[in-house]
Structure 1
Amino acid sequence: MNVYLAEFFGTMIIILLGEGAVAGAVLKGTKSENDGWLTIVVAWGLAVTLAVYAVGRISMAHLNPAITLALFLMGDFPKEQVAGYIIAQFAGAFVGAILVWLAFLPHWGRTDSAAKKLAVFCTAPAIRSTPANLLSEILATFVLVLALLFIGANEFAEGLNPLIVGGLIISIGLSLGGTTGFAINPARDLAPRLAHFILPIPGKGSSDWSYSWIPVIGPIIGGILGAWCFKALFV
């Protein structure tokens, strides 16, 4: 498996399992309906853990354009691979979202809320405020990238790193995710939002494009700031 296919497959796993947990919690008639925020956050953390185990040895498991760009700007990732990684990540997220749609096919028609259907695919703010929402995504991704670099600077028992990374995702979700749903990954939000726009989902409503730039730009800014802080203060 080459590095681009690995990034595609790893990102697809994250979306399939992460958004699958959201679908189970919010769509009508599932056995996990109303499971709540804690279940969703833990599911995202476990999804990332599995994805890192699956492809980390092949592509280093960026699985997030904000991480790829941050590592490139630090000088730790070759520029000729940046575009390929990001395209693979977006493609994997898009396919993962389609798989979630297929997995829950009978439940879309039974769910009356367009907002819940959109929530399966992408994030939305608890309170809509552009400055606050942007700051939330910047801060959460700042913590993500800075913490990932901290983890990479330490030695753990073989095979333990993916568990630590999954725990980091859970920590960010529980501590900082309640404001915007902690996209912290442009591919995780934008590609499934596009899938929501394209797919024939009954009563789906708007894909909320007016908000869509925040979970893209916020994580990119936060990732760059996290990498800069690590390089300036800890290297």
Structure 2
Amino acid sequence: MSFGEIFLWELMGTATLTLLGCGVVANVQLRKSLGYDGGWLLVAFGWGFAVFAGASVAAPTDAHINPAVTLGLAVNGQTPWEQVPVYIVAQVIGGAIGAVLCWAAYKLQFDTHDDPGSTRGIFCTGPTVPNAPWNLITEIIGTFVLVLWIILSPQAGPGDSPGVPEFGNAALGYAAVAFIVVSIGASLGGPTGYAINPARDLGPRIVYAVLPIRGKGSAEWGYSWIPIAGPAIGGILAGALALALPAT
């Protein structure tokens, strides 16, 4: 696959991811939205199925839609290193585009929201208890789980009996990834909002900083390195561990 094709599919997949992922948070947080106050579980499921949709769109590129996944697969030897910058640039730009589309869909709700200073959380993550080392560890752990699962997840294959397939997680397609993302959000997402994807956080954070949102708060650039570095480290560690494990 050419660099241009990788760029296009990853951009579209990541744009789909952040349009739907940021969209579910907007639906829950903006007071004049029908999903207002829907709760954390709705957010976790919304992001999980946003990953399913984005990955399905980006299927021609093996659906990384996440620099941490790209780095983990590169360390594991499954993605050529020369392709890594193309993947990551496309993912960040796609993340930004999806965030703009989310804002456009909810423009009237943003304009009439009674607490516009709190809207940053619709676009990007932040800690409930600020502490850089521990926030970083939280993001490393969540991303490590995701990327290790992606690398080691059993694939569908032929069974022992003719005509009877032996199904692994691949039998569910990208829906299987959605379930693990929902699980991470429900179990590990509370401390930092579980970015587990630098592009999902950086692209929308840039967009939030420049969009004409009435009364918006700070983009909190001082925290922004954590949802970049944490997932990157977690992805690299997962790729390295998977590489070190004996073949099965």
Q: Same fold (TM over 0.5)?
A: yes
Rounded to whole Å, the distance in 2 between the matches of 1:116 and 1:168 is 28
Matched residue, 1:172? 184
Give the match for residue 155 of structure 2.
Answer: 154
Matching residue within 180, 205, 216 for 1:193: 205
Q: Deviations over 1:13-41 (max 9, x none)?
A: 11011110000100121111000100010
Where in structure 2 are the equivalents of 1:88-107 lying within 5 Å? 88-107=90-109
Over alpha carbons, which structure has the higher Rg?
Answer: 2
* 1:8 maps to which of 6, 11, 22: 11
CA distance in 1, matches of 2:213, 2:152: 42
Distance change in 2, residues 1:234/1:178 (3 Å): farther
Q: 1:144·1:169 contact (CA, 8 Å) conserved in 2?
A: yes
**1:1-235 superposed matches below 5 A:** 2-56=5-59, 58-151=60-153, 153-155=154-156, 156=167, 160-235=172-247
Distance 1:121 1:200 in 2: 14
Give 1:114 shift: 4.0
AA at the equivalent of 2:89: I
Letter aligned with residue 36 of structure 1 = G
Report if the CA contact (8 A) 1:16-1:100 is conserved: yes
Q: Alpha-carbon deviations, 1:164-187, whole Å to 9, x = none?
A: 111010011111011101000000
Query: Partners of 2:141 and 2:82 in 1: how far apart?
Result: 28
Amino acid at match of 2:155: N
Structure 1: 4+ residue segments shifted above 6 A: none
- Kindly provide the amino acid, as one letter, of the partner of residue 65 in structure 1: P
Unaligned runs of 5+ in 2: 157-166
Q: Separation in 2 of the partners of 1:134 and 1:159?
A: 34
8 Å Cα contact 2:110/2:116 also seen in 1 = no
Aligned residues: 233
Residues in 2 aligned to 1:187 and 1:160: alpha-carbon distance in whole angstroms: 25
TM-score scaled to structure 1, two decimals?
0.95
